[in-house]
Structure 1
């Protein structure tokens, strides 16, 4: 069970957990990340909260979405 920090929005806390899982290899580059529905089930959050998580991770480039396929971990950018 997650102990929610009362001073931070839940979507930010869930996004941090997903980021950590990406960083530690739980979600490897190119693999699917949990859908909004899966985030709802795992964390007990609303669909809108799960959508915010996905949007934030997409906006920062951590994940990308393939329409009709799902969301996947972005491959790390190679240094120039």
Structure 2
């Protein structure tokens, strides 16, 4: 289980870790992101926290959630262009 910083929002920490994995290529474009249950086990958070993290990533444009199927990394050209690593 990944240790999270106690004084920071857990959902934000989980979101940043997943976003980092997307940006570093651990989760490739169009690949499926681990589901809610997997995230709750990996990070030791509630389902609501894991869901909030994925919802935030969807709002930012990094993933797309498909009901009853899963969450997928969007193609890199769909990612926000104002991120620090954008060229």
Relative to the length of structure 1, the TM-score reads 0.89
CA distance in 1, matches of 2:45, 2:7: 16
Which consecutive segments of 4 or more residues in structure 1 shift more than 3 A? Answer: none
Superposed CA RMSD in Å reads 1.6
The correspondence of residues 1-80 of structure 1 with structure 2, limited to 5 A, is 1-77=1-77
Structure 1, 69-78 or 14-23: larger mean CA deviation: 69-78
Structure 2: gaps of 5 or more residues:
82-87
Q: Assess if the C-alpha contact under 8 Å between 2:62 and 2:74 holds in 1.
A: yes
CA distance in 1, matches of 2:3, 2:67: 33
Structure 1: gaps of 5 or more residues:
none
CA distance in 2, matches of 1:37, 1:3: 17
Relative to the length of structure 2, the TM-score reads 0.82
